[in-house]
């Protein structure tokens, strides 16, 4: 369970950075207080390790790392250590998409297949047999858009949180198939329902195509 003090200190750090949004740097006193706060939490082992940054609109004005990146090995946490942030990559990927939108390189209501043609072949599951996991699909009425990928309304799901896709995934693994979003049918017509899934994976591939930069490799 998350320590309440951790939430309080996180709020304090946020407010501190907000107060200095336009500052070119933190004062020595602010830096001292922030350093003491972080080291106190690390010493008390309330938080095993953390990297903190404070930024204004133009640059990072404070950064620090305290604690360990491995409790068992007691390895010191470095400011450039790599973290497994799981689905927080979704937020980062979505920000990049919005930056491309701001640059006029992509439209939110553009069809995703405009940038990633292979996604145009995805169809909606229409009938599913739980006994033998066989299923039939139909073409989509309206193609998947960038907006639907951003809002998880594309119809693309996750095998780990959908029984139908889990059964399909199990069968595909037996056949030595991968677990790409292209390996599965859509769970519903795009734009109809909210479904947590691999929509952000699609956005990542679209970013690669538009920028010609590999972000997952």
Could you list the active site residues? 87, 90, 196
Spatial distance between the Cα atoms of 55 and 52, rounded to a whole number of angstroms:
10
> Between the CA of residue 154 and those of 31, 88, 116, 148, 186, what are the distances in Å?
45, 19, 14, 5, 8
> Between the CA of residue 61 and those of 67, 106, 179, what are the distances in Å?
21, 32, 42
Q: Shortest CA distance to 144 belongs to which of 129, 162, 158, 124?
A: 124
Strand partners, 138: 124
- Confirm if 106 and 112 have CB atoms less than 8 A apart: no
- Confirm if 16 and 34 have CB atoms less than 8 A apart: yes
């Amino acid at each position: 369970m998350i320590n309440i003090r951790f939430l309080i200190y996180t709020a304090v750090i946020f407010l501190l950075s907000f107060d200095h949004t336009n500052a070119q740097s933190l004062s020595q006193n602010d830096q001292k207080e922030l350093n003491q706060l972080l080291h106190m939490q690390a010493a008390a082992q309330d938080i095993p390790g953390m990297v903190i940054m404070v930024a204004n609109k133009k640059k990072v004005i404070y950064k620090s790392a305290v604690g360990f990146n491995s409790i068992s090995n007691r390895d010191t946490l470095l400011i450039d250590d790599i973290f497994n942030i799981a689905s927080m990559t979704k937020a980062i990927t979505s920000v990049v998409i919005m930056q491309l939108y701001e640059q006029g390189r992509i439209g939110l209501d553009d069809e995703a297949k405009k940038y990633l043609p292979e996604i145009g072949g995805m169809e909606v599951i229409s009938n599913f047999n739980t006994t033998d996991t066989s299923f039939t699909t139909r073409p989509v009425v309206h193609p998947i858009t960038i907006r639907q990928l951003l809002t998880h309304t594309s119809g693309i799901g996750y095998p780990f949180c959908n029984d139908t896709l889990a059964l399909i995934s199990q069968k595909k693994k037996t056949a030595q198939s991968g677990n790409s979003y292209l390996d599965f049918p859509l769970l519903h017509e795009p734009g109809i329902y909210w479904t947590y899934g691999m929509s952000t994976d699609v956005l990542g591939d679209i970013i690669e195509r538009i920028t010609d930069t590999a972000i997952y490799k």
